[in-house]
Chain A
Amino acid sequence: MSELIQVAVKYRALLISGAKVTLIVSLLTILFGLFFGILMAFLKMSKVKILRAFANVYVEFIRGTPVLVQIFLVYYGLPLMGVEIPSIVVAGFDISRIVSGTLALVINTTAYVCEIVRGGIESIDYGQTEGALALGMSPQRAMLAIVFPQAMKNILPSLGNEFITIIKTSSQISVIGIADLMYTADTIRGISFKPMEPLIIVALIYFLMTFVISFILRFAEKKMKKGYAR
């Protein structure tokens, strides 16, 4: 125990910096993943066949391949496609690596969020759409004002799980040299020659993050349930 605290105190600057990177990457992934996931869900339910086909292929491919492979594909693939992100170092972080790591995670998350959102929307009784249309609402308004809010409420628990998964999955971006929490554990292990302590410390920090998120979500769920029950 005292060993743990010693290591944690000694390398606190590294740990805090790693935790920051993990948090920033996860938060960005959640934000953009949610946005593009919802967008992808609407593509998948679109009346236009090509859009539907694109979304289907996208989701199947992303869900059928390992995230580690996706991270490497984006990291090595972007420069090959002519997209060069300048290697600027801001506040000690290499932006170019973080961008490609985050992008890979967003690409991955989009597919999962898409499926969650689509399931949520399809779980809403068609009577809701009919009720809205019968009042003269446009199909778009019926979706956005009537069906979508109900769907989002229903899928909040699944989305919460997805957010927690993102934090954990983000540890894999350390393979392309992003100095996140997992990378920090490796670094500390290398300089201190202690294999266990840094890993345990990092595990606890990951757990703290996911626990806080699930706590917030449980609170939000309760609050929404108070509003109306189905």
Chain B
Amino acid sequence: MEEKSIISVRNLTKNYGSASVLKGINLEVKKGEVVAVIGPSGSGKSTMLRCINAMETISGGDIYFNGESVARMKKLPKLRQEVGMVFQHFNLFPHMTVLKNVMYAPVTVRGELKPKAQEYAMELLKKVGMYEKRDAYPSTLSGGQKQRVAIARALAMKPEILLFDEPTSALDPEMVGEVLTVMKQLAKTGMTMIVVTHEMGFAREVADKVAFMDEGIVMEWGSPRQVFEETENERVKAFLAKML
């Protein structure tokens, strides 16, 4: 039996005024899959990702989350509790400690009890190797540490799927590894993930599916092997030659 998609992007378009950024995107993400989205800058990767949790409004087409239309959805906070997001610039809350960053939303948004939320937050912080820093403020952390906390914070909401918006692009090179390691572990636990990234190694090694985007469309779609090795598309080849 064909497994149902968690996320189903159908003919998605997005315009900013007269500039059209997305020109009909189609994408299917099934439970437990890791999908890497690659492509040159300005190809609409991040915009597409941000449409999925309704950070951007959809101009045309639609996205279905477990069969529900995102374009027609009224309760966006509810959607965003299920669809977590990790940002390029972390967006940790500077006026809260690491622990409070992680447990604030579960307590206030999901209404979890504090002791329970704290216990789970500590567990997550251990998982991403940030338990020792639980009482520190974000400003005292390195970029890699911040991003690991941000991942724990997103996981604390127990989302069904996690979106990563270039999670390593703002990091110093020596810190990219620690974040990718956490993401790899996460993928192994069966977390459904869509990762917009410039890390070709990660896409190749960890992703189940790779989408190559350019000029607002998905130009190539398939397994890492299909996209990285067997592609006939000249644009994909040129891009990969530059990146690898």
Contact = CB atoms under 8 A, between A and B. Distances in A.
A128 B55 contact: no
B154 interface: yes
Interface stretch (A13-21, A135-143, A156-164, A175-183): A135-143
B214 to A, nearest CB: 26
A131 B93 contact: yes
A137 B55 contact: no
B145 interface: no
B55 A130 contact: yes
Contacts of A130: 55, 87, 91
A140 to B, nearest CB: 10
Interface residues of B, number: 28
Chain A interface, DSSP helix/strand/loop, else mixed: helix
Contacts of A134: 53, 55, 80, 84-85, 87, 91, 154
A136 B77 CA distance: 4
B94 A137 contact: no
Contacts of B104: 135, 145
A228 B93 CA distance: 11
B139 interface: yes
B108 interface: yes
A132 to B, nearest CB: 8
Interface of B: 53, 55, 76-78, 80-81, 84-85, 87, 89-95, 104-105, 108-110, 137-139, 153-154, 157
Given A136-B77, A149-B95, 7 more contacts: A128-B93, A130-B55, A130-B87, A133-B80, A134-B91, A135-B84, A228-B138
Pairs of residues from A and B, 3 with the lowest C-beta to C-beta distance, nearest first: A131-B91, A136-B81, A135-B105
